[in-house]
Amino acid sequence: SLPDINMGKRQCWLPGRGLVLRLATLALTLLLCLQPWRSYYPSSGTQQEATDRKYPKQYQPQPAEGLSSKRQVTYIRASSNHQEDIHAERAVETGHSSCKALPADRLRRKPRRWRIHLQPWASLNRSLGDEASRFLRYISTTQISCRRLETNGLMGRSKSVKKPWTICLDDRFSLARQVRDQQCRLYSLGLGAQDNQFEVSMAEGGCDVHRFEPSIKLSHVQQGQHLWYHRLAIDWRDPNPSVSIRKVHSRIKTLGTILSEFGHWKIDVLKVDMESAEWKILENLILEETIEQIGQLVLEIHLHWPGFQVNGNDSSVVRYWYSLLKELECKDFRLFYIHTDLSKPQTFLRKKMLNASSCYTLSWVNGKWT
């Protein structure tokens, strides 16, 4: 009969429909399972290519050439890469020595830097005379004017200050406001306690002053309401971990470590008088980006020899000095005061040249701190 025929057709059709549904479900399940693997393994190329696409090699921090495991000495020498030499020579020919622009995604990541960016040579022959001429011309030219210079602190001690540690109190920079509100902070790095009148004057003017002097007997000494002395030496590297475990109260630390331990996130004025250790300390401030936590930098530089833990031929050393100061400029620091110390020997890397002094005091202001 007709109902029996329809029933037979339904019985034959239902098993076929179920098989199709099962196959479709199995295919969809396989597709969903394979999707994560497709995102990890691209359709073309190897796993290494996928990793390189996600983290390009140029974004990875690279150890400095010739850098030892202890990272104690900066060896300044010409690049062994022929292509880099060609680019450097082209930069000399075009006069290009600007700051290196970083891609936006690299700025977000901010990987640890292991070396500074060396500026192109001053000339193709890489002579000491050309390097010295460029460097001395750079430190002898102010980059920004300051209408209110204070060379004696905040309390008018011009006759008692031995050196002109000069700060800028223009209203366009934050230091003037911090001084008025008595919220300014000064860090002083030194290797001798003879010249402390600048620190005393700043403390009497209401600034919190922290002077780091490793020669004092006590760990911490407070003089008055705003002046502290600390038995700590600022270095360009923290002590070896095995040493710090045995000696918990180590007296040698980087400035970034001390800022973290003191709970300070900024320094309105940093005074550096480190008797030739300033170059490596400045390098550390730049590489660890501690320099961005500083509003004004008053720095004494010494030119009679390369400086502690800086090696290389004379031309390379001067290029290294110049590159460090250009790194400051790339961080928006501007030179507003120069003092030439004529009481020191007139030598430049143990040579008489270009009427250069062996000692200069430079004052910089961070243009971002307004």
Q: What is the pLDDT along the chain (370 residues), one digit of tens a residue?
A: 444 444 444 444 445 567 777 788 888 777 776 654 444 333 434 444 443 443 334 333 333 333 333 444 555 554 445 454 545 555 554 555 567 554 444 445 566 778 999 999 999 999 999 999 999 999 999 999 999 999 877 765 545 556 789 999 999 999 999 999 999 999 999 876 567 889 999 999 999 999 998 888 888 999 989 999 999 888 877 665 555 544 544 578 899 999 999 999 999 999 999 989 999 999 999 999 999 999 999 999 999 999 999 999 999 999 999 999 999 999 999 999 999 999 999 999 999 999 999 999 999 999 998 8
Return the biggest CA–CA distance within the chain: 127
178 DSSP 8-state letter? H
Phi, psi of 146 (to 5 degrees): -125, 125
Terminal Cα-to-Cα distance of the chain (whole angstroms): 98
- Give the Cα separation of 146 and 171 in Å (integer): 10
Measured N-to-C along each axis, helices 314-330 and 278-287 cross at an angle, to the nearest 10 degrees, of 40
Strand partners, 223: 227
| pLDDT attached to residue 1 | 46
pLDDT at position 350? 95
CA 250-213-277 angle, to 5 degrees, is: 85
Pair 88, 79: CB distance under 8 Å: yes
| Residue 345 CB contacts under 8 Å (≥ 6 apart), including other chains | 304, 357, 358
Q: What share of the chain is helix, strand, coil (3-state, %, to 5)?
A: 40, 20, 45
Contact 201, 155 (CB under 8 A): yes
Task: Identify residue 360 by its one-letter amino acid code.
Answer: Y
d(C-alpha 325, C-alpha 139), whole Å? 9
Distance, CA of 150 to CA of 166 (rounded, Å): 5
Q: Record the tokens describing residue 173, joined without a space.
A: 């920079």
Q: Where are the alpha helices (DSSP H) in the chain?
A: 2-40, 47-54, 82-94, 104-109, 128-139, 174-180, 197-204, 241-246, 255-262, 278-287, 314-330
Provide the angle, in degrees to the nearest 10, between the axes of the packed helices 255-262 and 278-287: 60
In contact, 126 and 315? CB cutoff 8 Å: yes
Q: Cα 10 to chain center, whole Å?
A: 80
Q: How far apart are CA 78 and CA 195, in angstroms?
A: 39
Q: Give Cα separations from 12 to 4, 8, 17, 20 (angstroms).
A: 12, 6, 9, 14
CB of 175 closer than 8 Å to CB of 366: no
